[in-house]
Structure 1
Amino acid sequence: MMKTYKIYTLGCKVNQYDSGKLSAQLQAAGLVMAGKQADLAIINSCAVTKTAMIKSGRMIRSAKKENPGAKIALIGCWVRASETKLAGVDFVIGGKEIIKQINRIMNYESGIRNKIQNPNNKNNKIIINSDKSRYFIKIQDGCEQFCSYCIIPYARGGLKSRGEAEVIGEVEQAVKAGYGEIVLSGIHLGLYGKESQLLYSVIPASEPPRKMRGGLRITRPYRTGTFGREPAMTNYYNGARDENLASLLKKLVKLKNLGRIRLSSIEITEVSDELIELIKNSGKICRQLHLPLQSGSDKILKLMNRPYDMNYFKNKIKQIRRVLPDMAITTDVIVGFPGESEKDFRATEKFIRQIKFSRLHVFPFSAQEKTSAAKMSGQVKEKIKKRRADLLRKLNLKLMADYKNKFKGRDLKIAVEQIKQNKVMGKTEYYFDVSADKKSLKNKNIRVGQIIKIKI
């Protein structure tokens, strides 16, 4: 009989949220998180890069080794993004019916009848247990940008958003639980409130489990069309709701005892005038935006199928900084994309210096075999990718230090992340880490998750 479980998570904050929610639901159904060996090991996989997929494979093997008698279940992006047969996996779970299928696994294996709650049930009051200072809440899923290097639209499907009332309810619970910072996350956060219809062929949830090679195959959605190509028809609609990111934020900032809200990542084309003014005037939204750049070359941006050019990006940053001069702008950059010449790379480096980002996340291009970028000519050698990535990572250290130095002598609020002996460590709203001597603080009764003021 299944009594214990473990969840192994790779990838983004959305994956982490999904794992946390599933863990809370498993506990509500009577299962216990295992200290050592588990009866059920769930791997929440990532497929955003080839490296991530390799790590997911390693995680499966590691979970099998750590839990020799466990049933191994695979969920997450790899399930829908790859047709690879995975050794050691007993259950492959994809689509929108994860909770139903986990229930079926439990019933199939042990006759457990205490069902896991569906996360979309309006009566579901589960809040994720965490000792972290920040509460990550997924408000949106899916993407239809179809960047040429990215497999996520196929792994996550079309745009889906949770209703405002449901999001507000969960945030209220997180605030009551003592979380000082709430992080709104999504695969395409800026399109919160949008819904889309994609065509999938799935095994119905009502159909009995099927035995497949290596175990029980529950469900796998298949996308019509080919990878790396936008679907012929997409129907965007808001349903009966008139909801978007700005309307949600306006409601959230009014919540009693709310500390602050952070946006995880948003496309620069979705940073509206209304959003900029909200950040300026609310006093509750962190003055930090993560705006993926990916490349500083218009030629490469076009090959990537990104929704902007360099002129648009530069002008939008100027607009943001006219209103919010100290705004932290963090970004992602891919180096070694097919066709990226030394001139293209130098243009990217120059643009990064001009914009003065406060932090860079640098990724060497990783070819996903089912994306159009993997088939492009002009593939860059690994040693060149590494050299370019190393150069930008070195530049990142300088950018981070320069930005942090701007705040020396100022009083800033931090979300406390750790308290070790006499040191209090946390993150400012501008997304850099600081520490302070506990003795120097007026309030000595400090806890993780609390928002406190310190001098930088």
Structure 2
Amino acid sequence: MRVYVETYGCALNRSDEALMKHVLIERGHTIVDNPSNADVVIINTCTVRLDTEQHMLNRISSLRELTQARKGKLIVAGCLPAAQPYKVAKTAPEASLVSPQNSSRIYVAVESDGRVVMLDGVRERDRIGLCFENKVAPIPIQEGCLSNCSFCITKHARRVLVSHTVEAIVKSVETAVRMGAVEIQLTGMDLGTYGMELYGKRYLPELVRRVSTLPGEFRVRIGMINPEHLPPILDELLEAVKSDRRIYRFLHIPLQSGSDKVLKAMNRKYTVDEYRGLIKEVKQKISDVSIATDIIVGHPLEDEEDFEETLKIIRELEFERVHFAGYSVRPNTLSAGMPNIPTRIRKERMLRMLETVEEVGFKVREKYIGLTLPVFITEYSNTWVGRLDNYIPVILMEGDSLKYGITVETVIEKATFYDLRGRVRSS
């Protein structure tokens, strides 16, 4: 059959898309790039936010009309049918439903004569979908988590912690590098839990060491780690990061709020002081490390003082990057039952958050102006883009003879709150 796949959401979803395509091609099906040319249309969905969910439902409705007109088949895969199958069934009653854990079995829905519902089961541990964004390859190492955050709907879609084996991950990295990847992103819902159900311990440091022994000119970015699960592996992980220049000196450690009261409402298992101590310890042990964090603005029970405390700790800890978003009510979560902050207040706080993030981001980056630093080239988008050893992006304003995967000495001439701008030093 001719199959069209359309994917939304995170790196895990993009990996699931790659896995689905690989399985279908193995079974003799053809992947097409236009739904109008397809016998089967698969939409691989995300449901992390309310606006995302609404976009998904609108798109499902449009694809339903298209497939019905062509007497084709519609399959809704990903997190939306796993977390809220009733909403998908209401929008497209005849569509087959496939959870993320069943991505490797997508052929059952494709080849079936009728509607198929595949929402149970556990992911195959060693089937990793390999996807590329130019020369950057996200490699999922686990899905699921051991936390129970009050605001999160994703845990309903990817319920069970499943870690891929070190051998499977190493093989995927080797394949990606052989195919031209110059940046490997180790991804998952919470990398601090990697290996706990498989090896009986938090195994991320060992995995990082194993990946760092592989041949090739590439860099590795470590994905998000919940502060709850970082302390037991902190020293070992930092040693693994420092042991090889190919491991970016970068950690993504989500804070979510600078208020203990709000953290408690979120069911986050740490205090602001504990988080502060963790970040200071990381910076003490790796002086040039950069740290990204996540913030939810306007979570239920957040008052003005709580929000000011969040702005205060962002300024204090000087995060290299802050991913922030307004709170979005998600069904079947504990936060959905709490008093909601008015939209007007959330929007006003979002603007103030943006001002603070820009202020801190520029302060962090302006100290690089005038320095000559090695930049590893990873991207091209009208101009070459590279990364410092601590993952800060550098836009190269000249460089016709450059190419992916090389390191160039670069004079930093300008800083913005988001990146650096520089020129390659002439030899």
TM-score, normalising length: structure 2: 0.85
**Aligned equivalent of 2:118:** none
**Aligned equivalent of 1:52:** 52
* Structure ranking higher in helix proportion: 2
Cα pair 1:21 1:128 within 8 Å, conserved: yes
Bigger relative contact order, structure 1 or 2, given CA contacts below 8 A and separation 6+?
1
Which residues of 2 match residues 117-156 of structure 1 at below 5 A? 120=124, 128=130, 130=132, 132-156=134-158
Q: Does the C-alpha gap of structure 1 residues 446 and 127 become closer, same or farther in structure 2, counting only changes over 3 Å?
A: farther
Which residues of 2 match residues 165-314 of structure 1 at below 5 A? 165-195=167-197, 238=198, 244-271=203-230, 272-314=234-276
The residue matched to 1:285 in structure 2 has which SS?
coil
Which residues of 2 match residues 101-116 of structure 1 at below 5 A? 102-109=106-113
Aligned partners of 1:417 and 1:325: how far apart in 2?
26
Aligned partners of 1:176 and 1:243: how far apart in 2?
29
**Aligned equivalent of 1:20:** 18
Aligned partners of 2:163 and 2:23: how far apart in 1?
20
1:453 to 370, 386, 408: 408
**Aligned equivalent of 1:330:** 292
After superposition, give the CA deviation of every residue in 1:38-71 in whole Å (9 maximum; x if it has no partner). Answer: 2222111112222221122123134346665242
* Alignment partner of 1:389 is 2:360: no
**Aligned equivalent of 1:31:** 29
Q: Does the C-alpha gap of structure 1 residues 432 and 279 become closer, same or farther in structure 2, counting only changes over 3 Å?
A: same
Cα pair 1:414 1:454 within 8 Å, conserved: no
**Aligned equivalent of 1:92:** 97
Q: Does the C-alpha gap of structure 1 residues 26 and 445 become closer, same or farther in structure 2, counting only changes over 3 Å?
A: farther
Cα pair 1:190 1:267 within 8 Å, conserved: yes
Aligned partners of 1:156 and 1:353: how far apart in 2?
34
Q: Does the C-alpha gap of structure 1 residues 296 and 419 become closer, same or farther in structure 2, counting only changes over 3 Å?
A: closer
1:266 Cα deviation from its structure 2 partner: 0.9
Cα pair 1:127 1:173 within 8 Å, conserved: no
Cα pair 1:261 1:286 within 8 Å, conserved: yes
Q: Does the C-alpha gap of structure 1 residues 66 and 433 become closer, same or farther in structure 2, counting only changes over 3 Å?
A: farther
Q: What one-letter code is carried by the residue in structure 2 that aligns with 1:78?
A: L
2:390 to 430, 438, 444: 430
Cα pair 2:329 2:336 within 8 Å, conserved: yes
After superposition, give the CA deviation of every residue in 1:279-310 in whole Å (9 maximum; x if it has no partner). Answer: 12322211111111110000100111101101
**Aligned equivalent of 2:419:** none
After superposition, give the CA deviation of every residue in 1:8-64 in whole Å (9 maximum; x if it has no partner). Answer: 222222112211222233233333332322222211111222222112212313434
TM-score, normalising length: structure 1: 0.80
Point out where structure 1 has 5 or more consecutive residues left out of the alignment: 111-117, 196-237
Cα pair 2:19 2:103 within 8 Å, conserved: no
The residue matched to 1:187 in structure 2 has which SS?
coil
Q: Does the C-alpha gap of structure 1 residues 445 and 350 become closer, same or farther in structure 2, counting only changes over 3 Å?
A: closer
The residue matched to 1:97 in structure 2 has which SS?
helix
Q: What one-letter code is carried by the residue in structure 1 that aligns with 2:225?
A: I
1:430 Cα deviation from its structure 2 partner: 3.1
Cα pair 1:160 1:194 within 8 Å, conserved: no
1:438 Cα deviation from its structure 2 partner: 4.4
Cα pair 1:164 1:243 within 8 Å, conserved: no
After superposition, give the CA deviation of every residue in 1:290-336 in whole Å (9 maximum; x if it has no partner). Answer: 11111000010011110110110111111011111221111110111
The residue matched to 1:96 in structure 2 has which SS?
helix
Cα pair 2:23 2:107 within 8 Å, conserved: no
Cα pair 2:295 2:325 within 8 Å, conserved: yes
**Aligned equivalent of 1:341:** 303
Aligned residues: 393
Cα pair 2:42 2:77 within 8 Å, conserved: yes
The residue matched to 2:25 in structure 1 has which SS?
helix
After superposition, give the CA deviation of every residue in 1:93-142 in whole Å (9 maximum; x if it has no partner). Answer: 12633333x222333249xxxxxxx99486x7x87353512110111011
Deviates more, 1:127-136 or 1:276-285: 127-136
The residue matched to 2:243 in structure 1 has which SS?
helix
Aligned partners of 2:133 and 2:48: how far apart in 1?
27
1:247 Cα deviation from its structure 2 partner: 0.9
1:243 Cα deviation from its structure 2 partner: 6.6
Aligned partners of 2:402 and 2:362: how far apart in 1?
30
Cα pair 2:101 2:124 within 8 Å, conserved: no
1:454 Cα deviation from its structure 2 partner: 4.0
After superposition, give the CA deviation of every residue in 1:380-402 in whole Å (9 maximum; x if it has no partner). Answer: 00111111111112222222222
Aligned partners of 1:243 and 1:258: how far apart in 2?
27
Point out where structure 2 has 5 or more consecutive residues left out of the alignment: 115-121, 413-427
* Alignment partner of 1:42 is 2:38: no
Q: What one-letter code is carried by the residue in structure 1 that aligns with 2:362?
A: A
Q: What one-letter code is carried by the residue in structure 1 that aligns with 2:306?
A: D
Aligned partners of 1:121 and 1:354: how far apart in 2?
41
Cα pair 1:46 1:56 within 8 Å, conserved: yes
Cα pair 1:135 1:182 within 8 Å, conserved: yes
1:343 Cα deviation from its structure 2 partner: 0.7
Q: Does the C-alpha gap of structure 1 residues 312 and 95 become closer, same or farther in structure 2, counting only changes over 3 Å?
A: same
Cα RMSD (Å): 2.4
Which residues of 2 match residues 358-397 of structure 1 at below 5 A? 358-377=320-339, 379-397=340-358
Cα pair 1:181 1:415 within 8 Å, conserved: no
Cα pair 1:280 1:323 within 8 Å, conserved: no
The residue matched to 2:181 in structure 1 has which SS?
coil
Aligned partners of 1:353 and 1:72: how far apart in 2?
48
Q: What one-letter code is carried by the residue in structure 2 that aligns with 1:35?
A: D
Aligned partners of 1:184 and 1:338: how far apart in 2?
32
After superposition, give the CA deviation of every residue in 1:247-293 in whole Å (9 maximum; x if it has no partner). Answer: 11111101111511111211123331111122123222111111111
Aligned partners of 1:398 and 1:297: how far apart in 2?
21
